[in-house]
Protein backbone atom coordinates (compact mmCIF):
# COMPACT_ATOMS: atom_id res chain seq x y z
CA UNK A 1 0.00 0.00 0.00
CA UNK A 2 1.49 3.35 -0.97
CA UNK A 3 0.18 6.85 -0.40
CA UNK A 4 1.69 10.23 -1.11
CA UNK A 5 3.11 11.76 2.09
CA UNK A 6 0.77 14.75 1.91
CA UNK A 7 -2.35 12.59 1.43
CA UNK A 8 -4.91 13.04 4.20
CA UNK A 9 -4.14 10.33 6.73
CA UNK A 10 -7.04 7.89 6.77
CA UNK A 11 -7.96 5.79 9.74
CA UNK A 12 -7.45 2.42 8.05
CA UNK A 13 -8.73 0.64 11.12
CA UNK A 14 -11.96 2.57 11.50
CA UNK A 15 -13.11 4.47 8.40
CA UNK A 16 -16.73 5.59 8.58
CA UNK A 17 -18.97 2.81 7.22
CA UNK A 18 -22.41 3.49 5.83
CA UNK A 19 -24.43 1.83 3.06
CA UNK A 20 -24.81 3.50 -0.36
CA UNK A 21 -28.23 2.76 -1.86
CA UNK A 22 -27.04 1.98 -5.39
CA UNK A 23 -29.15 0.86 -8.35
CA UNK A 24 -28.07 -0.81 -11.59
CA UNK A 25 -29.79 -0.98 -14.96
CA UNK A 26 -29.01 -4.33 -16.64
CA UNK A 27 -30.88 -3.74 -19.89
CA UNK A 28 -27.71 -3.09 -21.94
CA UNK A 29 -25.36 -5.63 -20.31
CA UNK A 30 -24.77 -8.68 -22.53
CA UNK A 31 -24.76 -12.19 -21.07
CA UNK A 32 -21.06 -12.51 -21.87
CA UNK A 33 -20.02 -9.22 -20.38
CA UNK A 34 -16.30 -9.82 -21.03
CA UNK A 35 -16.34 -9.83 -24.87
CA UNK A 36 -15.13 -13.13 -26.36
CA UNK A 37 -14.58 -14.64 -22.89
CA UNK A 38 -17.75 -16.55 -21.99
CA UNK A 39 -16.04 -19.04 -19.68
CA UNK A 40 -14.02 -16.37 -17.82
CA UNK A 41 -17.26 -14.36 -17.57
CA UNK A 42 -18.87 -17.32 -15.81
CA UNK A 43 -15.88 -17.79 -13.48
CA UNK A 44 -16.54 -14.28 -12.16
CA UNK A 45 -20.33 -14.76 -12.37
CA UNK A 46 -20.00 -17.37 -9.62
CA UNK A 47 -19.91 -14.37 -7.29
CA UNK A 48 -23.47 -13.48 -8.28
CA UNK A 49 -24.58 -17.02 -7.42
CA UNK A 50 -22.98 -17.07 -3.98
CA UNK A 51 -23.22 -13.53 -2.72
CA UNK A 52 -26.98 -12.90 -2.42
CA UNK A 53 -27.53 -15.87 -0.06
CA UNK A 54 -24.05 -15.53 1.48
CA UNK A 55 -24.33 -11.88 2.36
CA UNK A 56 -27.88 -12.25 3.67
CA UNK A 57 -26.40 -14.95 5.92
CA UNK A 58 -23.70 -12.52 7.13
CA UNK A 59 -26.45 -10.10 8.16
CA UNK A 60 -28.43 -12.89 9.86
CA UNK A 61 -25.38 -14.03 11.87
CA UNK A 62 -24.39 -10.48 12.83
CA UNK A 63 -27.90 -9.74 14.12
CA UNK A 64 -27.09 -12.40 16.74
CA UNK A 65 -23.56 -11.12 17.33
CA UNK A 66 -24.46 -7.46 17.79
CA UNK A 67 -26.10 -7.81 21.25
CA UNK A 68 -23.03 -9.74 22.47
CA UNK A 69 -20.63 -6.85 21.77
CA UNK A 70 -19.70 -5.07 25.01
CA UNK A 71 -21.63 -1.87 25.74
CA UNK A 72 -18.43 0.18 25.92
CA UNK A 73 -17.48 -0.84 22.35
CA UNK A 74 -19.74 1.76 20.75
CA UNK A 75 -17.36 2.28 17.79
CA UNK A 76 -17.41 -1.43 16.93
CA UNK A 77 -21.20 -1.63 17.37
CA UNK A 78 -21.62 1.32 14.98
CA UNK A 79 -19.30 -0.33 12.45
CA UNK A 80 -21.22 -3.61 12.66
CA UNK A 81 -24.46 -1.76 11.89
CA UNK A 82 -22.76 -0.06 8.91
CA UNK A 83 -21.34 -3.43 7.80
CA UNK A 84 -24.78 -5.07 7.94
CA UNK A 85 -26.27 -2.21 5.92
CA UNK A 86 -23.57 -2.48 3.25
CA UNK A 87 -23.82 -6.29 3.00
CA UNK A 88 -27.61 -6.11 2.66
CA UNK A 89 -27.27 -3.74 -0.33
CA UNK A 90 -24.57 -6.00 -1.84
CA UNK A 91 -26.86 -9.04 -1.59
CA UNK A 92 -29.74 -7.16 -3.17
CA UNK A 93 -27.57 -5.81 -5.99
CA UNK A 94 -26.13 -9.21 -6.97
CA UNK A 95 -29.63 -10.66 -6.80
CA UNK A 96 -30.51 -8.08 -9.47
CA UNK A 97 -27.90 -9.64 -11.79
CA UNK A 98 -29.47 -13.09 -11.32
CA UNK A 99 -33.04 -11.84 -11.82
CA UNK A 100 -32.40 -9.46 -14.72
CA UNK A 101 -29.01 -9.75 -16.39
CA UNK A 102 -29.05 -13.59 -16.44
CA UNK A 103 -32.66 -14.80 -16.26
CA UNK A 104 -33.96 -12.33 -18.84
CA UNK A 105 -31.27 -13.48 -21.30
CA UNK A 106 -32.24 -17.15 -21.01
CA UNK A 107 -29.82 -18.35 -18.31
CA UNK A 108 -31.78 -19.65 -15.29
CA UNK A 109 -29.61 -19.70 -12.15
CA UNK A 110 -32.44 -20.69 -9.77
CA UNK A 111 -31.91 -24.49 -9.52
CA UNK A 112 -28.37 -23.83 -8.23
CA UNK A 113 -29.14 -20.72 -6.15
CA UNK A 114 -31.87 -22.67 -4.31
CA UNK A 115 -29.18 -25.15 -3.18
CA UNK A 116 -26.84 -22.34 -2.19
CA UNK A 117 -29.69 -20.77 -0.19
CA UNK A 118 -30.16 -24.13 1.58
CA UNK A 119 -26.44 -24.29 2.36
CA UNK A 120 -26.51 -20.92 4.12
CA UNK A 121 -29.89 -21.15 5.83
CA UNK A 122 -29.87 -24.83 6.89
CA UNK A 123 -26.31 -26.23 6.83
CA UNK A 124 -24.86 -22.98 8.22
CA UNK A 125 -28.10 -22.00 9.98
CA UNK A 126 -28.66 -21.47 13.70
CA UNK A 127 -28.88 -25.09 14.73
CA UNK A 128 -25.40 -26.47 15.62
CA UNK A 129 -24.61 -29.34 13.21
CA UNK A 130 -22.57 -31.39 15.71
CA UNK A 131 -22.92 -32.05 19.47
CA UNK A 132 -19.45 -30.52 20.11
CA UNK A 133 -20.95 -27.10 19.42
CA UNK A 134 -23.01 -25.19 21.96
CA UNK A 135 -25.17 -22.50 20.36
CA UNK A 136 -22.61 -19.87 21.38
CA UNK A 137 -19.64 -21.88 20.06
CA UNK A 138 -21.47 -22.41 16.77
CA UNK A 139 -22.09 -18.66 16.52
CA UNK A 140 -18.40 -17.96 17.21
CA UNK A 141 -17.43 -20.53 14.59
CA UNK A 142 -19.65 -18.90 11.95
CA UNK A 143 -18.23 -15.50 12.88
CA UNK A 144 -14.78 -17.06 12.30
CA UNK A 145 -15.83 -18.28 8.85
CA UNK A 146 -17.15 -14.80 7.99
CA UNK A 147 -13.90 -13.21 9.16
CA UNK A 148 -11.95 -15.44 6.74
CA UNK A 149 -14.34 -14.79 3.86
CA UNK A 150 -14.14 -11.06 4.53
CA UNK A 151 -10.36 -11.21 4.20
CA UNK A 152 -10.84 -12.62 0.72
CA UNK A 153 -13.63 -10.20 -0.23
CA UNK A 154 -11.29 -7.33 0.74
CA UNK A 155 -8.23 -8.55 -1.18
CA UNK A 156 -10.41 -9.51 -4.16
CA UNK A 157 -12.08 -6.11 -3.88
CA UNK A 158 -8.65 -4.50 -4.14
CA UNK A 159 -7.84 -6.84 -7.04
CA UNK A 160 -10.92 -5.80 -9.02
CA UNK A 161 -10.25 -2.11 -8.34
CA UNK A 162 -6.76 -2.57 -9.82
CA UNK A 163 -7.68 -4.99 -12.67
CA UNK A 164 -7.04 -2.75 -15.69
CA UNK A 165 -6.96 -5.87 -17.92
CA UNK A 166 -10.73 -6.15 -17.54
CA UNK A 167 -11.18 -2.59 -18.89
CA UNK A 168 -8.74 -3.35 -21.72
CA UNK A 169 -10.73 -6.51 -22.54
CA UNK A 170 -13.83 -4.31 -22.99
CA UNK A 171 -15.74 -5.57 -19.92
CA UNK A 172 -19.24 -4.09 -19.61
CA UNK A 173 -19.09 -0.78 -17.66
CA UNK A 174 -22.24 -1.43 -15.58
CA UNK A 175 -20.95 -4.82 -14.45
CA UNK A 176 -17.54 -3.33 -13.69
CA UNK A 177 -19.19 -0.59 -11.64
CA UNK A 178 -21.14 -3.18 -9.62
CA UNK A 179 -17.98 -5.22 -8.98
CA UNK A 180 -15.82 -2.20 -8.17
CA UNK A 181 -18.41 -0.44 -5.98
CA UNK A 182 -18.83 -3.71 -4.07
CA UNK A 183 -15.06 -4.31 -3.96
CA UNK A 184 -14.44 -0.78 -2.69
CA UNK A 185 -16.96 -1.20 0.15
CA UNK A 186 -15.34 -4.54 1.01
CA UNK A 187 -12.01 -2.73 1.33
CA UNK A 188 -13.70 0.01 3.36
CA UNK A 189 -15.26 -2.36 5.94
CA UNK A 190 -12.51 -5.01 5.86
CA UNK A 191 -11.64 -4.76 9.58
CA UNK A 192 -15.14 -5.20 10.97
CA UNK A 193 -15.56 -8.99 10.76
CA UNK A 194 -12.06 -9.62 12.11
CA UNK A 195 -12.54 -7.14 14.97
CA UNK A 196 -15.85 -8.80 15.87
CA UNK A 197 -14.20 -12.23 15.86
CA UNK A 198 -11.34 -11.00 18.04
CA UNK A 199 -13.75 -9.32 20.43
CA UNK A 200 -16.12 -12.28 20.83
CA UNK A 201 -13.72 -15.22 20.51
CA UNK A 202 -10.20 -14.40 19.35
CA UNK A 203 -8.89 -17.98 19.58
CA UNK A 204 -6.24 -18.40 16.89
CA UNK A 205 -6.64 -22.13 16.16
CA UNK A 206 -10.41 -21.75 15.73
CA UNK A 207 -9.79 -18.90 13.29
CA UNK A 208 -7.37 -21.20 11.47
CA UNK A 209 -9.90 -24.07 11.16
CA UNK A 210 -12.79 -21.79 10.18
CA UNK A 211 -10.60 -20.21 7.50
CA UNK A 212 -9.42 -23.58 6.22
CA UNK A 213 -13.02 -24.76 5.70
CA UNK A 214 -13.88 -21.58 3.79
CA UNK A 215 -10.65 -21.74 1.75
CA UNK A 216 -11.35 -25.33 0.63
CA UNK A 217 -14.97 -24.53 -0.23
CA UNK A 218 -14.11 -21.51 -2.36
CA UNK A 219 -12.34 -23.05 -5.42
CA UNK A 220 -14.89 -25.87 -5.34
CA UNK A 221 -17.74 -23.35 -5.40
CA UNK A 222 -16.14 -21.42 -8.28
CA UNK A 223 -15.79 -24.61 -10.32
CA UNK A 224 -19.32 -25.88 -9.61
CA UNK A 225 -20.82 -22.42 -10.26
CA UNK A 226 -18.92 -21.88 -13.53
CA UNK A 227 -19.69 -25.44 -14.72
CA UNK A 228 -23.40 -24.91 -14.01
CA UNK A 229 -23.50 -21.55 -15.82
CA UNK A 230 -21.61 -22.91 -18.83
CA UNK A 231 -23.95 -25.92 -19.02
CA UNK A 232 -27.09 -23.75 -18.87
CA UNK A 233 -25.82 -20.91 -21.06
CA UNK A 234 -27.94 -21.07 -24.25
CA UNK A 235 -24.99 -19.83 -26.36
CA UNK A 236 -22.41 -22.33 -25.09
CA UNK A 237 -24.12 -25.63 -25.93
CA UNK A 238 -22.84 -27.52 -22.87
CA UNK A 239 -19.21 -26.35 -22.93
CA UNK A 240 -17.32 -27.34 -19.75
CA UNK A 241 -14.82 -25.02 -18.07
CA UNK A 242 -11.32 -26.48 -18.34
CA UNK A 243 -8.06 -25.83 -16.54
CA UNK A 244 -6.74 -24.15 -19.66
CA UNK A 245 -9.67 -21.67 -19.60
CA UNK A 246 -8.67 -20.72 -16.06
CA UNK A 247 -4.97 -20.42 -17.02
CA UNK A 248 -5.82 -18.29 -20.03
CA UNK A 249 -7.97 -15.95 -17.90
CA UNK A 250 -5.17 -15.60 -15.34
CA UNK A 251 -2.60 -14.92 -18.11
CA UNK A 252 -4.84 -12.18 -19.52
CA UNK A 253 -5.19 -10.67 -16.03
CA UNK A 254 -8.98 -11.02 -16.02
CA UNK A 255 -9.11 -13.56 -13.17
CA UNK A 256 -6.99 -13.78 -9.99
CA UNK A 257 -4.31 -16.49 -9.90
CA UNK A 258 -3.91 -19.36 -7.43
CA UNK A 259 -0.69 -17.74 -6.31
CA UNK A 260 -2.60 -14.55 -5.43
CA UNK A 261 -5.14 -16.57 -3.42
CA UNK A 262 -2.44 -18.57 -1.59
CA UNK A 263 -0.47 -15.43 -0.71
CA UNK A 264 -3.68 -13.96 0.71
CA UNK A 265 -4.19 -17.14 2.79
CA UNK A 266 -0.66 -16.91 4.22
CA UNK A 267 -1.27 -13.28 5.16
CA UNK A 268 -4.53 -14.07 6.97
CA UNK A 269 -2.98 -16.93 8.93
CA UNK A 270 -0.21 -14.79 10.42
CA UNK A 271 -0.71 -14.46 14.18
CA UNK A 272 -0.18 -10.68 14.00
CA UNK A 273 -2.65 -10.26 11.11
CA UNK A 274 -4.96 -7.29 11.07
CA UNK A 275 -6.96 -6.33 7.95
CA UNK A 276 -6.08 -2.63 8.34
CA UNK A 277 -2.54 -3.46 7.16
CA UNK A 278 -3.87 -4.86 3.85
CA UNK A 279 -5.48 -3.05 0.88
CA UNK A 280 -5.98 0.72 0.59
CA UNK A 281 -8.96 2.65 1.88
CA UNK A 282 -7.72 5.65 -0.14
CA UNK A 283 -8.00 3.71 -3.43
CA UNK A 284 -11.44 2.43 -2.43
CA UNK A 285 -12.69 5.93 -1.62
CA UNK A 286 -11.15 7.29 -4.83
CA UNK A 287 -13.18 4.76 -6.79
CA UNK A 288 -16.37 5.45 -4.83
CA UNK A 289 -15.93 9.17 -5.59
CA UNK A 290 -16.23 8.40 -9.32
CA UNK A 291 -18.49 5.30 -9.37
CA UNK A 292 -21.62 6.14 -11.42
CA UNK A 293 -23.83 4.04 -9.10
CA UNK A 294 -22.34 5.48 -5.88
CA UNK A 295 -22.61 9.04 -7.23
CA UNK A 296 -26.26 8.52 -8.20
CA UNK A 297 -26.94 7.06 -4.72
CA UNK A 298 -25.23 10.05 -3.04
CA UNK A 299 -27.49 12.47 -4.96
CA UNK A 300 -30.63 10.80 -3.56
CA UNK A 301 -29.38 9.95 -0.06
CA UNK A 302 -30.58 11.87 3.01
CA UNK A 303 -27.79 13.07 5.37
CA UNK A 304 -26.57 10.28 7.68
CA UNK A 305 -27.57 10.83 11.35
CA UNK A 306 -24.48 9.13 12.82
CA UNK A 307 -21.85 10.86 10.71
FE1 LIG B 1 -20.23 -7.60 0.42
FE1 LIG C 1 -18.01 -7.64 3.29
The 10s digit of each residue's pLDDT in 84-98 is 999 999 999 999 999
HSE at residue 298, side-chain half, CA atoms within 13 A, is 9
Cα of 178 from ligand 2 centre, angstroms: 14
**Total-model pTM:** 0.93
Cα of 230 from ligand 2 centre, angstroms: 27
Three-class SS of 9-51? CCCCCCCCCCCCCCCCCCCCCCCCCCCCCHHHHHHHHHHHHHH
Which pLDDT score, from 0 to 100, does residue 304 have? 54
Cα of 87 from ligand 1 centre, angstroms: 5
Q: Is the pLDDT score of 35 beyond 50?
A: yes
Cβ 137 vs Cβ 263: under 8 Å:
no
Q: How far is CA 80 from the centre of its chain?
A: 16
Which pLDDT score, from 0 to 100, does residue 156 have? 97
Which pLDDT score, from 0 to 100, does residue 81 have? 97
Cα of 41 from ligand 2 centre, angstroms: 22
Q: Which ligand is closest in space to the CA of residue 88?
A: 1
Dmax (CA) for the chain in angstroms is 58
Cα of 132 from ligand 1 centre, angstroms: 30
Q: Which ligand is closest in space to the CA of residue 189?
A: 2
Q: Is the pLDDT score of 262 beyond 70?
A: yes
User: CA 150 to CA 144: how far, in whole Å?
Assistant: 10
Those residues whose C-beta lies under 8 Å from the C-beta of residue 203, and which sit 6 or more positions away, are: none
Q: Which ligand is closest in space to the CA of residue 149?
A: 2
Residue 104: how many CB atoms within 10 A of its CB? 11
Cα of 141 from ligand 1 centre, angstroms: 19
Cα of 234 from ligand 2 centre, angstroms: 32
User: Which stretch of 12-16, 52-56, 144-148, 224-228 has the lowest confidence by average pLDDT?
Assistant: 12-16
Mean pLDDT for the chain overall: 93
- For the segment 242-262, the average pLDDT, to the nearest whole number, is 95
Cβ 133 vs Cβ 141: under 8 Å:
yes
User: CA 251 to CA 42: how far, in whole Å?
Assistant: 17
Which pLDDT score, from 0 to 100, does residue 4 have? 45
How confident is residue 286, by pLDDT bands cut at 50, 70 and 90? very high
Cα of 185 from ligand 1 centre, angstroms: 7
DSSP run (H or E) holding 55: helix 38-65
Residues having C-beta closer than 5 Å to ion ligand 2: 153, 186
Amino acid sequence: MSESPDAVRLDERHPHITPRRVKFDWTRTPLHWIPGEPVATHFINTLHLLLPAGERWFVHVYKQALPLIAEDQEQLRREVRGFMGQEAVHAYSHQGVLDHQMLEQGLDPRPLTRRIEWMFTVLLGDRPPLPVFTRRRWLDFRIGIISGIEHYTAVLGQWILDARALDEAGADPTMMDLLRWHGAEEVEHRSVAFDVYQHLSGVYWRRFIAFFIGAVAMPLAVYVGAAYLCAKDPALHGVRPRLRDYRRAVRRGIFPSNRFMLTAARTYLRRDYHPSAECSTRKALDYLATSPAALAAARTRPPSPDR
